[in-house]
Amino acid sequence: MKKLFLLVLVAVSATFAFAQNYDLVVAKDGSGDFDNIQDAINAIRDYKPEGRQRILVRKGVYEEKVIVPSYKTNISLIGENRDSTIIIWHDHANMRTKSGWPAFSLSDERNAQSAIPNKNLRKIGTFQTYTLRVDGPGFECENMTISNDAMTFWNRNWKQDRNNRSEVAQAVAVHVDGDRAVFRNCRLLGFQDTLYTGNDDSRQVYYNCYIEGTVDFIFGPATCWFEGCELHAITNGYLTAASTPGTHPYGYVFYRCKVTADPAVTSEWLGRPWRNDASVVFRECELPAVINPLGWHNWNDPSREKTARYYEIKNTGPGAALDGRVKWIRKMQPVESNQLKAARVLSHAGNKWEANFKPADLQGLALAFCDERLGQGTPYVANTLEPKKLPNNLESYVEPLVMKLNGVDCTTFVEYMSAAMLGRVYTPTDPNDSIMRRFVTALRYRQAVRGNYATRKHYFSDWIADNEAQGLLTEVTGSIPGAKKQKKTINYMSTHRSEYPQLAASDSLTRAIRQVEERLSAQSTWYIPKNQIHKAYQYLREGDIVVFVSNTKGLDVFHCGFIWWPDPEYNEPQLLHASTSEHRVTIGKFALADYAQAIPTCQGIRILRLNVN
């Protein structure tokens, strides 16, 4: 019973600590700050000067209609799991209310459905049917499902008989009017009019998303970049109905996307122009056989053939053949095609947007600290966290959060890079970035609480254990064949007290560090012996944190860095690290195993994996 209690306590502590890396937590079970998403959004400060605000949404089905108002800016809505974190509502355009406004409760929604025959009431119309509406600029949504299931909610047997007895009409899942919106790894589910990309001047990105619908299920005037998305047709219909303004050079660009369809689908059009100047590009996409050979429809208005701007570039699949396409499809010159990048598409005149929509990764971030091609790297600087002069009261002194990004040692380099990846920070060299500071605090200080010198995680074994408890990373060493288990007495700091000014000046801090050492000494840890590292290569990934285990008495670890392995088929993994010998951040000249083998004090390595997915 005691063991079970401890396991529960550890789980609760991990959840609490991890939650501190978010401004608010939404959880259906009441364990968060709110049990619904709208209340959390409402609680975010209007026009926040303190920077981006992050809302973690725990797994669950959130049956609510959600609005992000125009004065709620730079909000990130982050689901715990894409398929298990679901916002769902059931409005459709034929519903009727006295005011024409939609219902925000299930009982009122049922009344609006029942009122469809009452012609004295007003239809709510397409643009009131959203499940999620985004008006605030800078909105980001990640790892979530947003669904409008009106068709199946009001027609329980629709999937079997495809009979729309309940007169369900257009039903929008996501409606975005705000500028600079990003949806990453989301599922957008609906029927007719699933995704409304509203507002002429709105710019939006959909990266690695799944978007499902029937007719015109991606529609509107915004400029949008879709990359790595799957567009799934449920019935015969039209993928897009763009209404791009004629003054905008681009509307929808689908880059390396995939079109799929239910087995019953026999003819799917790539699009039709909702307004005259509709602009849609499919580039390097995979198109199935169900794509109508003509490709594009003119919405029964031949005049739109002269103004609509439809392009197909280097697509593949049985539906990509251009032989039977409509004659009015346009051709893009190679030079223009090569310039078709997200930054160019999403930058309006005088309003540039470098949309960093891909998950922050090791290779992209590494350039901020190291450009090996030019032999340049951030200088190695030791002891950047230590004050030049000790404060008067060391025991009560709260350490400032040091963010010296222009000079790093091996640990601070790993902290800055890890913080950037965990927080989806794309320019990690800004010491004022609020998300960066938050994750550095969590990584550096025990339970993410910054206090005196002893609250800092000086031993890397402590760093690993605490950050794993916070949910920031997972140690995978023990799962790798050839790994060995050991216990070691850790006491280097307390037995070399004179080397640490704070400990030399404070018995209290020394006692606190000794308590940490006793805890670490009681724990068993896994390591891969250095003569087994070659055999472990197949279990490693680029971006893993590699920690070098020391055979020095009383010391657990002596160095750390990242596995750098851009070409696993042709090269062995190397080490990206802040090097004392090179005096800079660099990529090691030798393979990882050879690097470890050449160091007499190296016993082996431990492997950590950031929880960034």
Residue 444, amino acid: R
Neighbours of 7 (CB within 10 A): 10
From the number of C-beta atoms within 10 Å of its C-beta (0-12, 13-18, 19+), residue 597 rates as middle
Q: Indicate the angle between helix axes 434-444 and 460-469, nearest 10 degrees.
A: 120
Q: Which residues of 218-257 are buried (b: 16+ CB within 10 A; e: fewer)?
A: bbbbbbbbbbbbbbbbbbbbbbbbbbbbeebebbbbbbeb
How many CA atoms, within 13 angstroms, populate the side-chain half-sphere of residue 338? 3
Q: In sequence order, what are the residues at sequence separation of 6 or more whose Cβ sits closer than 8 angstroms to the Cβ of residue 458? A: 493, 513, 516
Residues that are catalytic: 193, 216
* 291 three-class SS: strand
What is the chain's Cα-based Rg?
28
Residue 608, amino acid: L
Least Cα distance to 48 among 141, 114, 139 occurs for 139
What are 208-214's contacts with CB under 8 Å, separation 24+? 208/184, 209/183, 209/184, 209/185, 210/186, 211/187, 212/187, 212/188, 213/189, 213/237
Q: In sequence order, what are the residues at sequence separation of 6 or more whose Cβ sits closer than 8 angstroms to the Cβ of residue 36? A: 26, 62, 64
* 305 three-class SS: helix
How far is residue 371's CA from residue 349's CA, in Å, rounded to a whole number? 32
Residue 372, amino acid: E
475-478-479 Cα angle (round to 5): 95
